[in-house]
Amino acid sequence: MHNINNIIVYILIVAAVLSFSMGEIIEGIAVLIALMIAVLTSFFTEYNAQKSIESLQRMIFTHAMVVRGGVWQEINASKLVTGDLIFIEEGDSIPADARLIRSMNFACIESALTGESDAVEKDAQALFSEDTGLGDRINMVFAGTSATRGNAHAVVTGTGMSTEVGKITGMLESGIKERTPLSKEMNKLSKILILVALLAGIAVLTAGFMTNHPIEAILHTALILAVAAIPEVMPAVSTMTLSRGMRTMAEHKALVKHLPAVETLGSTNVICTDKTGTLTENQMTVGRIVLTNDRSYTVEGNGYQPVGNILADERAVDLSDDDRLWDIIATSVLCSNAVLKKDEQEYSVIGDPTEGALVVLGAKAGICRESLHAGGWVRIGEMPFDSARKYMITVYEHGETVHAFIKGAPDVLLAMSLQSKEEKERLQDANDHLTEKGLRVLGVGKLNGYSGDGSRASIVSYLDRVDIFGIVGITDPPRNDVREAIGICQQAGIQVKMITGDDPKTASIIAREIGLRDAGVRRSCEKDRGVCPRFA
């Protein structure tokens, strides 16, 4: 409808009618042809873009495990209704908003909804007030997010547009439809053309009456001048220009549904962008390893692609050169549940992104859980990660020996460790250094002398005997092309603002890495929603 809801179009219709009424058939037909070119070009260009988007949407569908007729069955998520009982496990996409009724070591990634890259621990027993922000509703799961650990049963509370992500979509659609800068200028030009045509007509009428010309000749001349003042090809030219821009964006893998949006993008002077998954990979990556023997290593590569060397003094190292390095990497892999998958040329992680970073580190070093299991490592016990404890423990049998591996917050592990005072201070300094650089730090080690059966009781009895191998620094690295893209925007006079829920120090570090000018931090809190985004 917006293709014909335009002042220029209305003027051209009037001009065509006047041309036919004056017997100027060719002129009238020419005006209508120009009008049809503009309208049909716009319609078919947008139609093709809409069909492409619909094709992509048909390729994306989510299944859900639900109880129907007292039996668990898998159905298309679009068939879920409020009140359905669903089952969610590690790696599943959440098909609808739902209230947890039972959870087992359950965590979700909600970055698509809240922007937070860390997994959110869920608890079916928790309660919250009505004004609690989405990120703190730990007894709820939301459509568009995904489960990274554990499993849960939940009752559906909202589907489709009734979900939180659906409400956001509704807010966007219900917003005030503003005209684009080009359409505003076209409207101004249209008014000027109308005024010029009227003035020209009045001038001809005045001159005709003053020179005593026949009234019919005067009116005919005035109408011809008025019609001639209207540039009938202008809508066609502007439409074809925008259509070309739309095709150019499609060549760069960006689909635009409406032609005016192309021109609006060209008029952008400020870009406010989310950090997680937009400026960054949203793929946690181990970048640093610091061992208790005071050796430190840098890990090459970003994201989940297992490509990159482990460097010491900028030279690739062999794991056989340092047994402690092999220990920390192998332990990181064994003390995790994430799985690295390869789909064609793309790598992805099923499970917690932080554990995914450790699994990818192992793959870069040639160590994977499957090969370790094949080599005789058999898991016989586990104490899952808990946000209160801040650590995870797995117990393995290997031959006739039993090993208990632990990973978690460095300060917690240091408090339980057998390390000397010097080693503790060295690890604490390394932890502080990596934290200041915006990295998330994990300690990795084992329970020294463990000889239990893998039960919880036996694990707890050895918690004061932690032998820390070292710490790893994990980051969500910037996308490779982000710095260049931001530089192009800034050279074009476009301001780029980063929006994130990260700690201000971390946000500033990322902002400097990607080349944002004046990478200061401004805080804006929405108390009613419990949301505090930071702007860099």
User: Which residues have a catalytic role annotated?
Assistant: 274
Expressed in angstroms, the distance from the first to the final Cα of the chain is 40
CA dihedral 151, 155, 161, 167 (to 10 degrees): -70
CB-count exposure of residue 184 (10 Å: 0-12, 13-18, 19+): exposed
| DSSP codes joined into one string, 324-346 | HHHHHHHHHHHT---EEEEETTE
Nearest to residue 406, comparing CAs of 397, 398, 417? 417
Q: Which residues pair with 404 in a beta bridge?
A: 395
For residues 509 and 439, the answer to whether their CB atoms sit within 8 Å is no
Give CB contacts under 8 A, 24+ apart, made by 175-183: 180/260, 180/261, 180/263, 180/264, 180/267, 181/263, 181/264, 181/267, 182/238, 182/260, 182/263, 182/267, 183/6, 183/260
Q: How far apart are CA 408 and CA 274, in angstroms?
A: 28
Q: Residue 360's CB: how many other CB atoms inside 10 A?
A: 28
Residue owning tokens 């004056």: 22
Residue owning tokens 């159905």: 75
Nearest to residue 75, comparing CAs of 85, 90, 65? 65
